[in-house]
Amino acid sequence: MMLSASMSSLTRSSLEEMLESLRRRDEEERPKDLPPALPARPPSRARLPPARRSLPNNFKVDGEMGHRRKGSFGNKKIKMDVESPYVVLSEEKVREQSAPDPVSTSNVSSTDCEAPPPSGELEDDNVAYFIRKKLHVWCRQPRGKWELGTIQSTSGEEATVSLSNGNVMKVARSELLPANPDILEGVEDLIQLSYLNEPSVLHNLRFRYSQDMIYSKAGPILIALNPFKDVQIYGNDYISAYRQKLMDSPHVYAMADAAYNEMMRDEVNQSIIISGESGSGKTETAKIAMQYLAALGGGCSGIENEVLQTNFILEAFGNAKTSRNDNSSRFGKLIEIHFSTMGKICGAKIQTFLLEKSRVVQLALGERSYHIFYQLCAGSSSDLKERLNLRVASEYKYLNQSDCMTIDGVDDAKKFHRLMKALDVIRMCKEDQELVFKMLAAILWLGNISFEVTDNENHIEVVNDEAVTNAALLMGCSSQELMAALSTHKIQAGKDTITKTLTLRQAIDARDALAKFIYASLFDWLVVQVNKSLEVGKRRTGRSISILDIYGFESFQNNSFEQFCINYANERLQQHFNRHLFKLEQEDYELDGIDWTKVDFEDNQKCLDLFEKKPLGLFSLLDEESNFPRASDLTLANKLKQHLHTNPCFKGERGRAFSVCHYAGEVLYDTTGFLEKNRDPLPSDSIQLLSSCSCELLQLFSKMLNQSQKQSNSLHGGALDSQKQSVGTKFKGQLFKLMHQLESTTPHFIRCIKPNTKQLPRIYDEDLVLQQLKCCGVLEVVRISRAGYPTRMTHQEFSRRYGFLLSEANTSQDPLSISVAVLQQFNIPPEMYQVGFTKLYLRTGQIGALEDRRKQLLQGILGVQKSFRSYQACRHYHELKKGVTTLQSFVRGEIARREYGVMVKSSMTISSENIEEIKAVIILQSVIRGWLVRKHASGLNKFKKYPENAKPRRKSRVKMPEVKDVSSERVQNLPSALAELQRRVVKAEATIEQKEEENAELKEQLKQFESRWIEYEKRMKSMEEMWQKQMASLQMSLAAARKSLASENASAQLARRDVASPLGYESEDATSMGSRTPPRTPGASTPLKYSSSLSEAAGRDANGTLTSVSNLMKEFEQRRQTFDDDARALVEVKTGQSANTNSVEELRKLKHMFEGWKKEYKARLRETKTRLHKLGNSEMDKSRRTWWGKLSSRAL
């Protein structure tokens, strides 16, 4: 007995003993109202679906609900026969009865019910329930599609269903599946679906796709349907919304944000694995994820912008148009973005895998080569085209063999300019850029080199045309060297060298091999240059997010070596997917003691073994056959069929073909070209040609190849040199390295789905989508996610992270007790978590409440700490301010005392100077007094000599004391006198300043008067000139009048009156002219003086007209001469003198005189005119008017 007990105790683990001891101790010591340290873990309840599922999955008559149906989506390999809560609960009851546990039974919810009746009766009840409630079901059509309908009635194994289009049809009950209620239409996560089956998933994705909601969740997977159009769900606004957690709908931004947050929180590297078929949108999805990470890492400047610009470079050189995708990635890439401790991007590294080199020289109909060739031909400048001898793309054989030069909606010229900017951003110099373009142009001209057959044995020679010349010029070699390398092959036989002419096929292969090698080497060199610009260096922190964008699964009508490698890579990625979402998760549940019903899934390990197994795997057999010089593609196909016919994933076909059953379906491969592409040979003559070229890049490529060959073990020599590893083996090694790198990260999966093959928006092909979903294993993932526990943490991590949330101190400080206490305090239902041996497992969404509460509490703690620190800082500031104020007071006192001491010393110096001045004044006074005394003494002596001066003597005697008194008073009043003198000096200085200001004002006025006087002089001169002209016109008028009067034969009295009249008019006209001139014109005074003489003449009794006219002329001349003399005298006297008030007054008087003369002269002219009209008769009046009109027009 003792032995058996000891053996039983040994079988128990130390953890179980610890848990048992903790349970016993807590039951004894802890009060009954506290939660137990280790509550019961109802394993089956943890797998319960939501209670709203009224129709179980065993809806069918046979009870398996389509699990037997071949090709069903995600159900055919599920060992869980049902998802019904009734069946699960019945199993719980059976287990509880077989192994009763008082603790666990006490925690079972009161809602648990008894086991349901047998499956047949339950099915009938559920069918009746669906008929009664008129619930929707999915009905499979004869063509395989699913239609929505309602069950009308049942009869045996058949059911009558009314479809949504109004048709009624009878179907087998095995072809019916329950549909989800309308409230669940278009849910974001497929986990939320009540019934998880093919039609429900397809319908949910179709509904969201029709609403432009292209992203959906399937547990941890993000499903992205390619919209084939621009969808307005990207940009800075959406980035900010996801960064601030304002949006939580499925999105690439949300996936990238989750990866970033986990990296910063857990300090574990992350990876975003993007997979899908060709044309499903993987490349665009990768760019969107990089844009979000760049925004999180500090915006689009600096290294972040460089990381984004690499997409344009890699797309131009690594993407091409295929029959299924206009921008297909023909290589795989892993972009590893490194972050600093502050979460900012500090660098990146790019790894590439298996570039499709054959696309450079061979194209299928309707496809294009790499974008860069077309962009270079369309967007390069005229100078660059001239330097590279470029033509249009249609003139190059490597490009025009597919009859596809452009892509709809794509401008190759704009793409080229964008590429140039990207090359500038990564700091590639212009010389290197031109070298790259030179190599591209050389490849295009190599393709135009043609050969001519010279004999019956198909030997050739190179046609020496412009293609050879241009290619040799761009490569930096002579045309003869290039022609020799492409048409001959040198064989070393001992010490002799044998030159052999190549056949047409060999020459074409040599030319194409050279072009492929140059392009592949150029691509690798570009990646190296990009990595140098993005190098992390010493800033490496170990935190990174890797984005994998690799070619999708491909299955064409003719699948060659490239599709063989691409599909193998997808198999390896699918295994990584299965490992993390199925294998590791379920193994973790089993190892940690979690009660879990295992979910089976499509494991592709057998297919991977077919590729990788040694020595009878596809790659091993391919390498083995590649080493035989005489091996052919047919011998390879036969060898594969011979050794692999027993493998269930391999199927031999006729001829050179064989089939492989991949996870995504069966693919037929043609071994034509397998050996040549796997060897990837480059003739030794081409290698020597490259090493002799003057182009720096070609020399570098040759050195790299020589280094690789030195490290290789050549399996055979001759015409073809074999590198150390074949292409397939090298690619497998790269893939293994990639998988090892991804294994050290936390993966995030994005499955891109192509909704149709036409690449058109709003077209949803259910069969195509279903095929891709099956390849992903979406239903299995959703089942595990819904039944599993995606959040898992060790007890130590959980207690350390959330233990401080407990409202009361926990007596037991062990991590397990703290973790359970936290869960119970936040009322997390027992079915939403399970406690393992080492970890705590939580369902989806449960950790969010704890994180929110933790964040809220931490924010509160930070607020308290902030307030306390603020209080401390304020108190310290006030103390410091008080101390500084005290210190400043002492310093100011010391400064004041020093300044006072300096002031006292200076005042003493000033007082000493004043004393010296006083002494000097006293000496001066003493001298003056001495002089006065001596003067007084001399007066006394005179008074003694002359007694008559006694009286004045007495006066002087009386005055002497006064003088002494005055002197003494002057000595006493000397300071006040000095002050008075100082005041007078100040007053005098102020007066001087005032006088100087007045003097300045007077000078300014003088300048103004001088300028005015100059202006007046100018005006007077102009008026004088005008008056002289008017006088001349008047003289001419008078002379004409005199002549007309002399010639008159009429009576003297009448004739003289007639002659006087026009003179009056002319004078009046002259007056009018004078009045229209400016009054300040000097010449205006002449007609005024003349008007006065005319008025005097008019007052007299003219005895004759001639005598009157003569008198008027004389008077006019006198007045004119007088005014001219006065004006000239005024100008001459004032010239050179400064303008003053008198000159202005004289000019003003002259103006008034002119105005008075003008009025008087005008009045007298009118009187003369009236008088002359009275004396004239009608005939003379007519002639006079005619003459006057002529004279007036002449005057005008």
Quick one: CA torsion of 1153, 1155, 1159, 1161, rounded to 10 degrees? 60
Q: Which amino acid is at 589?
A: Y
Residue in the block written with tokens 């990646």 = 527
Q: Is 311 left (phi over 0), alpha (psi -120 to 50) or beta?
A: alpha
Q: Which CA distances in Å does 1101 have to 671, 910, 1059, 1105, 1171? A: 149, 101, 16, 10, 12
Q: Is 160 left (phi over 0), alpha (psi -120 to 50) or beta?
A: beta
**553 and 277 Cβ atoms separated by less than 8 Å:** yes
Alpha carbons within 13 angstroms on the beta-carbon side of residue 398 total: 29
Q: Which helix (H) or strand (E) holds 941?
A: helix 846-945
**216 and 190 Cβ atoms separated by less than 8 Å:** yes
CA–CA distance, 1075 with 1154 (Å, rounded to integer): 10
**Which residues is 162 bridged to in the sheet?**
150, 168
CA diameter of the chain: 190
Provide the pairing of β-strand 543-549 with 332-339.
antiparallel
Q: Which CA distances in Å does 64 have to 107, 150, 467, 905? A: 32, 21, 70, 117
Helix residue ranges per DSSP H, 1047-1177 = 1052-1076, 1085-1099, 1105-1134, 1141-1175
Q: How crowded is residue 241: how many other Cβ atoms within 10 Å of its Cβ?
A: 16
Question: Exposed, middle or buried, 361 (CB in 10 Å: 0-12/13-18/19+)?
Answer: buried
CA–CA distance, 685 with 67 (Å, rounded to integer): 63
CA–CA distance, 286 with 280 (Å, rounded to integer): 12
Alpha carbons within 13 angstroms on the beta-carbon side of residue 1135 total: 10
Alpha carbons within 13 angstroms on the beta-carbon side of residue 62 total: 12
Which 3-state string (H, E, C) describes 641-695? HHHHCCCCCEEECCCCEEEEEECCEEEEEECCCHHHHHHCCCCHHHHHHHHHCCC
**Which residues is 668 bridged to in the sheet?**
659
Joined together, the tokens standing for residue 247 give: 């949006």
Q: Which helix (H) or strand (E) holds 272?
A: strand 270-276
Joined together, the tokens standing for residue 511 give: 């030319």
Q: Minimal CA–CA distance to 772: which of 174, 137, 69, 218? A: 218
Alpha carbons within 13 angstroms on the beta-carbon side of residue 762 total: 3
* DSSP line for 852-919: HHHHHHHHHHHHHHHHHHHHHHHHHHHHHHHHHHHHHHHHHHHHHHHHHHHHHHHHHHHHHHHHHHHH
Quick one: CA torsion of 570, 572, 573, 576, rounded to 10 degrees? 160
Q: Minimal CA–CA distance to 619: which of 737, 734, 730? A: 730
Alpha carbons within 13 angstroms on the beta-carbon side of residue 1177 total: 7
Neighbouring residues of 556: CB distance < 8 A, sequence distance ≥ 6: 323, 563
Residue 354 DSSP SS3: coil
Please give the span between the terminal C-alpha atoms of the chain, in angstroms, as a whole number.
Answer: 160
Q: Catalytic residue numbers?
A: 278-279, 283, 325, 328-329, 552, 554
Question: Exposed, middle or buried, 450 (CB in 10 Å: 0-12/13-18/19+)?
Answer: middle
